[in-house]
Homo-oligomer: A and B are copies of this chain.
């Protein structure tokens, strides 16, 4: 064992989620999070680029999963079908997480404009990565962008419903349903 307790990063994430839930994001300082995790404020900012990032630790892994799902779609799949495969991969990963923790995290994010802003940025990053993957599959730039962003809208709406417990269906089922709704509402009329 090292000079300090291991997994500072994980302790910081737990401490932050707890404090944000108790007092709110604005009423919690980075120094308080660090103290609760048993480290200094400087260490907090070594692990996380800014105070919000502590809530988005798993976002890169999720992005990779989504991209892998899209890239692994059969060659014959249309753009939105490939995106659907990416959503399946995301749903599989998120479905493994404890729903109560996801709900707690979503509640903290929903309660603060700065955190909502950051969540949008993360979704935009997913969309950009998915669009780039679609382009490698031969999809045009514009269609790739539009399909990817619409897919992330589906992801967010489904995740919100699932995490809040308003729907007892599994996350992949909700996502598939929501994707069908997207197709319905964008159908020419």
A residues neighboring B (CB under 8 Å): 78-81, 113, 116-118, 120-121, 124, 142-143, 145-147, 149-150, 153-154, 157, 178, 181-189
Tell me, in angstroms, the Cα distance from A93 to B118 when the chains sit together.
28
| CB-based contact A185/B147 at 8 Å | yes
Copies in the complex: 2
How distant is the Cα of A118 from the Cα of B118 in the complex, in angstroms? 9
Taking A80-B185, A146-B153 as known contacts, 9 extra A-B pairs with beta carbons closer than 8 A to each other, sorted by chain A number, are A117-B117, A117-B118, A142-B178, A143-B185, A145-B153, A146-B150, A150-B186, A183-B187, A187-B187
What CA separation (Å) do A116 and B78 show in the bound complex?
Answer: 30
Chain B: minimal CB distance from A88 (Å) = 17
- Say which residue of B146, B181, B182, B187 sits within 8 Å of A157 (CB atoms): B146
Q: What are 21 contact pairs spanning A and B, CB under 8 A?
A: A78-B185, A113-B121, A116-B124, A117-B117, A117-B121, A120-B124, A143-B181, A143-B185, A145-B153, A145-B157, A146-B153, A146-B154, A146-B178, A146-B181, A146-B185, A146-B186, A147-B186, A149-B153, A183-B186, A183-B188, A187-B188
**Main SS of chain A's interface residues?**
helix
- Report the minimal beta-carbon distance from A163 to chain B, rounded to whole angstroms: 16
A149 touches B150 (CB 8 A): yes
